[in-house]
Amino acid sequence: MARKREEGGFLETVKVIVEALAIALVIRTLLFQPFNIPSGSMIPTLLIGDYVFVSKYSYGYSNYSMPFGPDFFSGRILASPPNRGDVVVFKLPRDNETDYIKRVIGLPGDRVQVIDGRLYINGVIVPREPIQKAVTEGRDGREVPVTTYKETLPGNGDHPAVEHTIIEIEGDHGYKDNTELFVVPSDHYFMMGDNRDNSTDSRFAPDEGGVGYVPFVNLVGRAEIIFFSVRKDESALAFWRWPWSVRWDRLFRPVD
């Protein structure tokens, strides 16, 4: 009798574990997926060591929404296009495997260009105004004072204009501060990092090691909230260092 109870208890434990794993898989596949930020291309919006939740349902689902990207179907189901200004995780088009996170700047049909460090969308300069100076990491890894701007991206359809913060480490004369005119193809998007002089994005063609235009199907989801954050070079698993390593002021901050 005791042996049957032990067997029943073991099977019940296995059942609970399987159910928990199934629920976690459903949440990760259909609802939210965590991502960590490994580079400084989205400073000051996202810092190295931030962990964000990405909503998988925001733009519908493609093969890249699924773990390991299985080839179940083509295109997207329950599709809803992103808005200009959304911060998006996507699969890098040149390998369809690497996760990148950038801001949507250009929608299908948009004409995008950077001239002397200023962003133009459809022939109109995007408004920006200088705000407080910030200190961040330069290309050589040392901390440097940088100019910070509030930039206002134009709205699209019923979606209002989006204000966000950018930095210019090298001012308005850095690399890729003068570009060709980009015309975003149908079902593609133009992405840029908020750290304008330290972001490999759609300004760089795939054969330059860049991103190029991002197909709609490659979008994984929209970054929603920072749920955890540790200082650069700190491990999130080193819980005994959390009192000093965690950036407590960044926890549960929405991604704007």
Q: Which two tokens stand for residue 186?
A: 């149908």
pTM of the predicted structure, to 2 decimals: 0.87
How far CA 58 is from CA of 91, 141, 143, 202, in Å, comes to: 16, 35, 36, 22
Angstrom distance (rounded) from CA 59 to CA 221: 6
Tokens of 122: 């459809």
For 186-216, write each residue's pLDDT tens digit: 999 999 999 999 999 999 999 989 999 999 9
Using one digit for the tens of pLDDT, what is the confidence trace for 133-178? Answer: 887 876 666 778 888 999 999 998 888 999 999 999 988 888 899 9
| Residue 18 host element (H or E) | helix 2-26
Task: Please identify every residue annotated as catalytic.
Answer: 41, 102
Counting every residue written for the chain, the total comes to 256
The DSSP string of 121-173 is: ETTEEPPEEE---EEEE-TTSSEEEEEEEEEEEPPBTTBPPEEEEEEETTGGG
Domains of the chain, residue spans: 2-254
- The fold for domain 2-254 equals Umud Fragment, subunit A (2.10.109)
Whether 24 shows a pLDDT value over 50: the answer reads no
Give 14's pLDDT tier (boundaries 50, 70, 90): low
